[in-house]
Amino acid sequence: MRDRANRIRKTAQQDAQVIASFLLALNNADASAMAALFRDDALVNDQLRDFWGRPEIEAWIAREVIVDNLRIEVLQMSQHYRVTTVVGAVTGTFDARGLPNPLIVNLHFSLFNGKIARLFILLNRQVDTFPDVRSRTLKAI
């Protein structure tokens, strides 16, 4: 039982180091360091858009993280069933019209064997805000 607890503790520490490395690379605009932290078959879901595999993730990093000069200030971090959630305030040179200020996002990380397997990025909305920023473009089915 003690060996299992030690393995869990070690894995949690390794996961925290990978996530810290990701956030540092993001804030330093280091695209190659960010991409290297993902598994080859990883999935990034950024606001309901899927990017599968390292080539698509590298393109997403270049097109949306680096070009928009994204930076994140970590506000909170928690873990729930091997999913680590980072809540952070995002800044950058992107068009922020229609977005809340400050822009708070949840980054949900799932790691496997020391690499990011899944990263889901979701806007953190207050209860009284409009349910979907993009809803004006949606049509009833």
* Structural domains of the chain in order of their starting residue, each with its CATH number: 2-126 (3.10.450.50)
Residue % of the chain over a pLDDT of 90: 73
What b/e sequence results for 49-59 when a residue is b if at least 16 CB atoms lie within 10 Å of its CB, and e otherwise? Answer: eebeebeebbe
Question: Which pTM value belongs to this model?
Answer: 0.83
pLDDT higher than 70, residue 131:
no
Hey, what are 19's tokens?
């996530």
Calculate the average pLDDT of the chain: 89
For residues 83-110, give the mean pLDDT.
95
Our CA angle for 122, 71, 30, nearest 5°, is: 110
**Out of 14-23, 54-63, 131-140, least confident range:** 131-140
The Cα 30–Cα 1 span in angstroms is: 40
Least confident of 19-28, 39-48, 65-74, 77-86: 77-86
